[in-house]
A and B are shown apart, each in its own frame.
Chain A
Amino acid sequence: NAGVTQTPKFQVLKTGQSMTLQCAQDMNHEYMSWYRQDPGMGLRLIHYSVGAGITDQGEVPNGYNVSRSTTEDFPLRLLSAAPSQTSVYFCASSYSPLAGGRITGELFFGEGSRLTVL
């Protein structure tokens, strides 16, 4: 009963380092997304994907890359980390039962990855 699995749970980086946050889901959801959570700002959408091979930008995409080669996985890459990217990152997925592959809005979240950039 894994659901959405994120790794690592905690990570400390130095400015300029790169890393990848992993996200995997076992519910065969077409839709996957990445959010960051910052105090006083709620959740902000970074990138999302409506299916394998298809990705699009959210509100705050700068400094992040994504790819979707399989239905199960949606990694988030930081190419050159900056202190402004210190945050808690959440991966979320959803099934798409509506016409045109649209989602219902019920998202299934992972437990989060806390990233600190020094």
Chain B
Amino acid sequence: GNSVTQMEGPVTLSEEAFLTINCTYTATGYPSLFWYVQYPGEGLQLLLKATKADDKGSNKGFEATYRKETTSFHLEKGSVQVSDSAVYFCALLNSGGYQKVTFGTGTKLQVIP
């Protein structure tokens, strides 16, 4: 079946540090890949996505590249801000008929001034 594995958190960084959150996946076919973000007390919202191999998704300074050869979709940001403190979820949607988005366990990021 489909699965998503994320690095364990929490991740604590100082403001302006470089961020990487690792994500690998298992799926048949050619899934679409996503990063969602959950700010405290809120629901999840889509941060970025990539629908095919070598695509790069980007938004709000965050980037992730769909690497089929390593089945990875790592999230990066060059300079984090306190306002980036949140929980980040990697997710996939299989290209087959099943209409189910599978999420990883989430990685909590705390950015300190």
Contacts and interface: CB of A to CB of B under 8 A. Distances in A.
Given A40-B105, A105-B32, A111 B46 contact: no
User: What class of interface size applies to chain A in its complex with B?
Assistant: 20 to 34
What's the dominant secondary structure at chain B's contact region? strand
Contact of B91 (A4, A103, A105, A112): A105
Interface string A27-45: 0000101010000111111
B99 A107 contact: no
Interface stretch (B12-20, B37-45, B67-75): B37-45
Nearest to A100: B97
Contacts of B43: 4, 90, 92, 109-112
Contacts of A112: 42-43
B101 interface: yes
Contact of A102 (B34, B42, B92, B99): B99
B44 A106 contact: no
A90 B20 CA distance: 27
B77 interface: no
Contacts of B45: 109
B100 interface: yes
Given A107-B44, A111-B42, A45 B99 contact: no
A50 B44 contact: no
A12 B72 CA distance: 40
A95 interface: no
B104 A42 contact: yes
Nearest to A101: B99
A63 interface: no
Given A105-B32, A111-B43, A50 B99 contact: yes
11 contacts: A33-B101, A41-B105, A42-B104, A45-B100, A48-B99, A58-B100, A90-B44, A92-B44, A102-B99, A103-B101, A107-B36
